[in-house]
Amino acid sequence: MMTPEKRAAEERTAEERAALVAEIGAMMEGRADGRYGLHDVTQRQHALQAAWQAEREGEPDALVAAALLHDIGHLVHDLGENPAEDGVDDKHEEYGHAWLARAFPPEVTEPVRLHVAAKRFLCATEPGYFDKLAPDSVLSLSLQGGPMSAEEVAAFRALPQAEAAVRLRRYDEEAKIAGLETPPVAHFLPFVARSLGG
C-alpha cells in the first residue's frame, strides 16, 4: 500500500516532470528564432525538421526527443548564431548534454553529446560524407578536431550510443530545408515527456 508520503513524492515528481516539459516547450517557442548557422532556417525549424525525420523513420521516443533537443546547448547558453565564423568551437553539444543530464537518461543525452563526434566519425569512415557538408559545417568541423583518427574511430564505435548518435547526425544534416512544413513543437513534447528519466 502506498503511503501518503510516497504518493506526495510521486505527485511532486510528476509535477516537476511536467514543469520541465513545459520549460522545454517554452524555450523552443520563445528562444529558438535565431538563424541556424548560415542556413535559411531558424534553430526551431532545424530542431523540428530533425525530430520529424526521426519520428517518420520510426525511431524510439528517446531518439526523437534527442533529435528535437540536439542543439539545446545553443538555447541554454547564448552562443551566437555562427560562432565558428569567429574561430570558436561553441561546444554546444557539451552544454546541451549537461543541461539535459539533470533529468534525461543516456538514450537521450548521449546522442546529443555525441552528435558532433558522429560528424567527425562519418567524415573519417564514409566516403563522400565530407563533400555533403554545408560550408558552416566544414568550418565547425575544423574547430572540432577534423575527421577522426583510426584510434578515435575505434573508441567511438565502442560507445553504447554511437549508432544512435550517427542516426541523429544524419537527421541533423538533412534538417536545413527552408520552408519545409513540420508539426509544431507541441507535437513533439509527448516524446520528450515519455523519455524523461525516472
**pLDDT tens digits, one per residue of 133-152:** 888 788 878 888 899 999 99
Q: Which of 140, 65, 75, 145 is nearest to 106 (CA)?
A: 65
Determine the pLDDT at residue 69. 97
Q: Which of 125, 103, 122, 101 is nearest to 113 (CA)?
A: 101
Distance CA 82, CA 116 (A): 15
Determine the pLDDT at residue 82. 52
pLDDT band at 88 (very low <50, low <70, confident <90, very high): very low
Q: What is the secondary structure of 2-61 as a DSSP string?
A: --HHHHHHHHHHHHHHHHHHHHHHHHHHHS--SB-TTSSSBHHHHHHHHHHHHHHTT--H
Spans of all domains in the chain: 8-195
pLDDT band at 130 (very low <50, low <70, confident <90, very high): very high
Determine the pLDDT at residue 75. 85
DSSP 131: G
- Which has more confidence, 10 or 193? 193
DSSP 81: S
Determine the pLDDT at residue 7. 55
CATH topology of domain 8-195: Hypothetical protein af1432 (1.10.3210)
Q: Region 93-100: what's the mean pLDDT?
A: 92
pLDDT band at 81 (very low <50, low <70, confident <90, very high): low
What is residue 52's three-state secondary structure?
Answer: helix
Q: Note the pTM of the prediction, 2 decimals.
A: 0.87
Residue 103 burial class via C-beta count within 10 angstroms: exposed 0-12, middle 13-18, buried 19 and up: middle
Span 20-48, pLDDT tens digits: 999 999 999 998 888 776 668 999 999 99
What is residue 42's three-state secondary structure?
Answer: strand
What is residue 132's three-state secondary structure?
Answer: helix
What is residue 35's three-state secondary structure?
Answer: strand
- Residue with C-alpha cell 528535437? 68
- Which has more confidence, 109 or 4? 109
